[in-house]
Amino acid sequence: MEFMELAKERYSVRKYKDTKLTQEQIDRLLEVSNLAPTGKNNQPHRIYVLQSDEALAKINEITPCAFHAPVVFMFTYNKDEDWKNAREEGIHSGIEDVSIVATHVMFEAVEMGLGTCWVNAYPNIEAEKAFNIPENEKSVLLLPIGYPAEDSEPSERHTLKKDLSEIVRYL
């Protein structure tokens, strides 16, 4: 699909069919994740594929925002590996790195006829504990992935876009 069409097609899916993803589908999503750029190519991101009944039960217990999808990717980054800006104290690339990697997965999922929802409103530390995430990793976002339910539809917010004149400044 042409990218503009893909971007128009995407919306946050919050209701999924039970249909499991095949290993080939998961592999394809992971393959595209590995094409994403990261700061200095440090690749500090880690992807946890929550797909076992146990892992899915855990994540659905912690947050309603896993939406009982058949698979949930949890993205973290290794705090020791992400790029640090030597010219600006406190600026580092971990969240940006994870975001661009997850964005690659999000759009490839649409291309594959799947839906996703970007989720950052979950108890990150509780999730890190639940899945024994190493101390030096930070959990950033969840991406539930699956076939949208028959009655899934975009929320009202989906089409509420500011006019570009409010957003863009030509200098």
Ligand X SMILES: Cc1cc2nc3c(=O)[nH]c(=O)nc-3n(C[C@H](O)[C@H](O)[C@H](O)COP(=O)(O)O)c2cc1C
Residue ranges in contact with ligand X by CB under 6 A: 11-12, 14, 65, 117-121, 154-155, 157-158
* Dihedral angle computed from the Cα positions of residues 42, 97, 122 and 104, in that order, rounded to the nearest 10 degrees: -120
C-beta nearest to ligand X: residue? 121
Could you give the CA distance from residue 79 to residue 60 in angstroms, rounded to a whole number?
26
CA distance 126 to 129: 5
Q: Which residue, 11 or 75, is less far from ligand X as judged by CB?
A: 11
CB of 157 to ligand X, least distance (A): 4
- Closest separation between CB of residue 170 and ligand X, Å? 25
Nearest distance, CB of residue 160 and ligand X, angstroms: 8
DSSP single-letter state for residue 151? T
CB of 147 to ligand X, least distance (A): 17
Beta strands of 44-123 (E only): which ranges? 45-50, 71-78, 115-116
3-class SS of residue 168? coil
If the CB atoms of residues 80 and 121 are measured against ligand X, the closer one turns out to be 121
> Residues in the chain, how many?
171
Name the residue nearer to ligand X (CB basis): 24 or 156: 156
Q: Which is nearer to ligand X, 118 or 131 (CB)?
A: 118
